Amino acid sequence: MIVIASIADTADNIVTTFGIDWPMFIAQAVNFTLVALAIWVFGFKKILSTIKEREKQISDSLKNADLIKLELEESRQKQEATLSEASQEAKKTVSLAQEQAKSFLEAQKEEARQEAEAIISKAKTAMELERQNVLKDAKQEIASLVLLATSKVLDKELSEEEKTRFTAKAESYVDQQ
């Protein structure tokens, strides 16, 4: 009890020392409470709700940023895969084109070789025909020269049998040469 009495004494000393007016103090306390309540209802609630909305927007934005990063990474991987596939396809196409060009070139070479062989064969055949014609003409010319020379040397006209015999001899002589 003594403690309570000393506390009450101390409170009286404080009130007297600082000059606290209780009705004014209570009125100020009520005013403070009303102002604090008005600020809370009209100011802090709106500010807190705005802060919560902003926090939610920031949180959503961070989540969306993470999703966008994932989508971007997937897109990049798909792009790399597509580029790799396109590169392989292009290599295959180039390789196929080179093979086709080689086979076409080989076919053209073979065709040219065959045409050259055909031309050479035709030329050989033509040369052989020409040689035979020249030999035939030469034989006939030689035979007529032999007949002419024989008829001049003998100073007489040769019979058909003699002409045939001399011609055959001249042709056999030419064939031996």
Stronger pLDDT, 159 or 59, i.e. the higher one: 59
> Residues 23-66: pLDDT tens digits?
888 999 999 999 988 888 887 888 888 889 999 999 999 899 88
What residues contact residue 169 under an 8 Å CB cut-off, 6+ apart? Answer: 146
Show me where the domains of the chain are located: 2-176
Q: What is the pTM of this model?
A: 0.40
Task: Annotate 20-89 with DSSP letters as a single string.
Answer: --HHHHHHHHHHHHHHHHHHIIIIIHHHHHHHHHHHHHHHHHHHHHHHHHHHHHHHHHHHHHHHHHHHHH
> Residues 89-138: pLDDT tens digits?
999 999 999 999 999 999 999 999 999 999 999 999 999 898 888 888 87
